[in-house]
């Protein structure tokens, strides 16, 4: 009989226990940092009405990257969420929470992209957003919380590329006649420049020409977007060069204050080529990179002051960031910041020397579980030797042996592998203390 191999769709993955355990550990660190800055959890559904997502991300995303489908029962058009920011805006518009509303959300999102290194179709984002503040302090705090996450996970060196949509708009005003092309052209230019890393300068130039811009305009745009470097110095230079341009003035002032407030200002660099593809950004934007491995941005974010209004809410300036869990983990594994050695969360295995001790083993396991230890007993009726082999394979560090001596005296024998420590005939309460210590 031919056997069918059942796999998962391209761009989707299973996470076996050692990977799932690592992911949980990293999520714990991230959520811990978010909470230390006063962000509270918010959860929204994975499915949204297509109407909710439509018109928020740009045409390319909406026509090619969103998973969209018709509910066979109601006939309604639905979509899997593409990010966590748009659902937040929908939520805030309808609930109008107390401001500032600082929420975090760690969850799956879906994008029908071409799978490659660091690029999946199902992946997790870890977002922190501040809703309600128009001020640079809020943008600085968002950058700081992301940098704090990076440090807390173990990244020693990373760069935050910073830019501002208003700064770019101001520059574009000087380089091409926006009113001639219409406002939509600005967003189109942003989206093309966003591909700079992917398709190179020539590719971007060709796309801008195809978008209808003149050769001189394209040259002007390309020369300015290649400006990068020390933020304070570069901002002052841009301010001089585009004196009298209101958008540039407003953006430079905001960015300077933001940089001044940031605890992690040493990690910041100004990079005019970093535009971020999504349509909803209105102010400062940033992305976080490591030199190696080449995996794209590990995190990104920015200010989106108009999004909540678009859902019928009051005008509510907002800013936030999104950390890509897969990239943080894939890059961290490559850099050796952590590993997949931990294969189980079981802290203790109770080894019965013989069938007659099973009920005592279960009683001990029950009491240890009540004390908060993570305990397994043998469920396969295996020999003592096979139980030990299982512990070895699973990487369970602590074993409790139950045999004749232990059962008759109501005590336990403990062996902790990593410490090569053996304690014989230990009373249960004492055993719990030893095992708890070993587990930490
Ligand atoms: P974005 O909303 O596109 O700015 O994404 C925020 C973060 O999510 C990025 O900085 C990446 O770390 C991560 N990310 C984006 N797209 C993918 C993907 N296809 N696969 C894995 N991670 C991604």
Low-confidence ranges of the chain (pLDDT < 50): none
- DSSP letters, 128-164, are EEEES--SHHHHHHHHHHHHHHHHHHT----EEEEEE
Residue 73 covered by a domain: yes
Taking the CA of residue 85 as reference, the ligand 1 atom at the shortest distance is: 2
What's the 255 CA to ligand 1 centre distance in angstroms? 24
User: Which phi and psi (to 5°) does residue 357 adopt?
Assistant: -100, 5
Determine the distance separating the centroid of ligand 1 and the alpha carbon of 331, expressed in angstroms.
Answer: 13
Indicate the DSSP class of residue 195.
T
- Beta carbons of 250 and 303 less than 8 angstroms apart: no
Provide the domain limits for residue 386: 348-439
3-state helix, strand, coil in the chain (%, to 5): 45, 20, 35
Choose the final residue of a domain: 309, 343, 377: 343
For residues 355 and 393, membership in a common domain is answered with: yes
| pLDDT tens digit sequence for 290-341 | 999 999 999 999 999 999 999 999 999 999 999 999 999 999 999 999 999 9
Ligand 1 centroid – CA 39 distance (Å): 21
∠88-90-94 over CA atoms, to 5°? 115
Q: Do 83 and 182 sit in the same domain of this protein?
A: no
Q: Is there a domain that residue 355 lies in?
A: yes
Q: Are residue 313 and residue 245 in the same domain, yes or no?
A: no
Question: Measuring from atom 21 of ligand 1, which residue has the nearest CA?
Answer: 119
3-state SS assignment for residue 192:
helix
What six digits make up the tokens of 222? 């390309």
Provide the pLDDT for residue 316.
97
Give me the pLDDT at residue 175, please.
83
How many whole angstroms from 388 Cα to the centroid of ligand 1? 43
| Residue in 119, 322, 329 to alter for ligand 1 test, most ligand atoms within 8 A of Cβ | 322
Residue nearest to atom 20 of ligand 1 (CA): 119
Helix (H, G, I), strand (E, B) or coil at 397: coil
Q: Which atom of ligand 1 is nearest to the CA of 125?
A: 8
Are 13 and 139 part of one and the same domain? yes
Q: How many angstroms is it from 136 CA to the middle of ligand 1?
A: 24
Q: Is residue 360 part of a domain?
A: yes
Whether 81 and 125 map to the same domain: the answer is yes
* Domain annotation covers residue 274: no
327 alpha carbon to ligand 1 midpoint, in Å? 8
Nearest residue to 373 via CA among 398, 351, 352: 398
d(CA 11, CA 80): 15
User: Is the domain of 16 the same as that of 51?
Assistant: yes
If one counts the domains in the chain, the total is 3
Task: List, chain by chain if needed, residues with CB within 6 Å of any ligand 1 atom.
Answer: 83, 111, 113, 118-120, 123, 125, 297-300, 322, 324, 326-327
For residues 14 and 146, membership in a common domain is answered with: yes
Closest ligand 1 atom, residue 328 Cα: 12
DSSP per position, 327-361: HHHHHHHHHTSS-S-------EEEEESSGGGHHHH
pLDDT, one tens digit per residue, over 170-191 is: 988 888 778 888 888 888 888 8
| Per-residue pLDDT, 3 | 65
Asked if residue 429 and residue 298 are part of one domain, the reply reads no
pLDDT at residue 1, rounded to an integer: 53
Q: How far is the CA of 299 from the centre of ligand 1 (A)?
A: 7
| Residue 30 shares a structural domain with residue 173 | no
pLDDT value at residue 187? 86
Nearest CA to ligand 1 atom 2: 83
What's this model's pTM, rounded to 2 decimal places? Answer: 0.94
Task: Identify the pLDDT of residue 337.
Answer: 98
Give me ligand 1 centre to Cα 119, in Å.
Answer: 7
Q: Whose CA is nearest to atom 16 of ligand 1?
A: 119
Domain boundary among 310, 343, 376: 343
In a domain, residue 239? The reply is yes
CA angle 436, 365, 22 (to 5 degrees): 55
In a domain, 2, yes or no: no
Neighbours of 374 (CB within 10 A): 14
Ligand 1 test: best mutation among 296, 324, 326, most atoms within 8 Å of CB? 324
Atom of ligand 1 nearest to the CA of 113: 19
Residue 271 covered by a domain: no
Q: Tell me: do 194 and 121 sit in the same domain.
A: no
Same domain, 247 and 315: no
In sequence order, what DSSP letters do the residues of 234-293 get, joined into one string?
HHHHHHHHTTT-HHHHHHHHHHHHHHHH-TTGGGEEEETT---S-TT--SEEEEEE-SSS
Ligand 1 geometric centre to CA of 357 (Å): 53
**Same domain, residue pair 142 and 176:** no
Between the CA of 339 and the centroid of ligand 1 the distance, in Å, is 22
Cα-based distances in Å from 368 to 49, 291, 390, 419, 432: 47, 47, 20, 21, 7
Q: Which numbered atom of ligand 1 lies nearest the CA of 119?
A: 20
CATH number, domain of 119, equals 3.30.930.10
Residue 120, domain member (yes or no):
yes
Q: How far apart are CA 52 and CA 156, in angstroms?
A: 39
């Amino acid at each position: 009989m031919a056997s069918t191999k059942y796999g998962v769709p391209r761009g989707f993955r299973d996470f076996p226990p050692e990977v799932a355990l690592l992911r949980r550990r990293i999520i714990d660190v991230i959520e811990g940092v978010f909470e230390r800055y006063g962000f509270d959890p918010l959860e929204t559904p994975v499915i949204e009405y297509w109407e909710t997502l439509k018109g928020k991300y740009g045409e390319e995303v909406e026509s090619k990257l969103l998973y969209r489908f018709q509910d066979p029962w109601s006939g309604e058009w639905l979509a899997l969420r593409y990010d966590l920011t748009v659902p937040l805006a929908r939520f805030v518009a309808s609930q109008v929470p107390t401001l500032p509303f600082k929420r975090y959300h760690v969850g799956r999102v879906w994008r029908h992209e071409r799978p490659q290194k660091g690029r999946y179709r199902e992946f997790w984002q870890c977002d922190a957003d501040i809703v309600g503040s128009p001020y640079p302090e809020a943008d600085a705090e968002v950058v700081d919380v992301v940098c704090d996450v990076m440090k807390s996970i173990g990244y020693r060196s990373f760069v935050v590329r910073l830019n501002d949509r208003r700064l770019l708009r101001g520059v574009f005003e000087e380089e091409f006649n926006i009113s001639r092309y219409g406002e939509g052209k600005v967003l189109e230019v942003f989206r093309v420049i966003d591909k700079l890393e992917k398709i190179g300068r020539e590719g971007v130039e060709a796309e801008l020409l195809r978008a209808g811009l003149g050769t001189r305009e394209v040259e002007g745009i390309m020369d300015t977007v290649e400006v990068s470097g020390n933020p304070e110095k570069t901002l002052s230079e841009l301010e001089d060069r585009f004196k009298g341009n209101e958008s540039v003035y407003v953006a430079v002032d905001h960015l300077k204050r933001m940089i001044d407030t940031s605890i992690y200002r040493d990690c910041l660099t100004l990079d005019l080529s970093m535009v971020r593809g999504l349509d909803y950004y209105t102010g400062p934007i940033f992305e976080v990179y490591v030199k190696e491995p080449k995996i794209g941005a590990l995190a990104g974010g920015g200010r989106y002051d108009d999004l909540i209004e678009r859902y019928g809410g009051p005008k509510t300036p907002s800013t936030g960031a999104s950390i890509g869990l897969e990239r943080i983990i894939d890059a961290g594994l490559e850099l050796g910041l952590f590993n997949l050695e931990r294969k189980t969360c079981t802290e203790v295995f109770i080894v019965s020397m013989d069938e007659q001790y099973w009920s005592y083993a279960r009683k001990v396991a029950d009491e240890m579980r009540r004390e908060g230890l993570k305990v397994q007993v043998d469920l396969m009726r295996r020999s003592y030797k096979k139980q030990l082999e299982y512990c070895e394979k699973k990487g369970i560090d602590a074993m409790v042996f139950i045999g004749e001596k232990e059962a008759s005296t109501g005590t336990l024998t403990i062996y902790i592998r990593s410490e090569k420590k053996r304690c014989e005939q230990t009373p249960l309460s004492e055993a719990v203390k030893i095992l708890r210590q070993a587990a930490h």
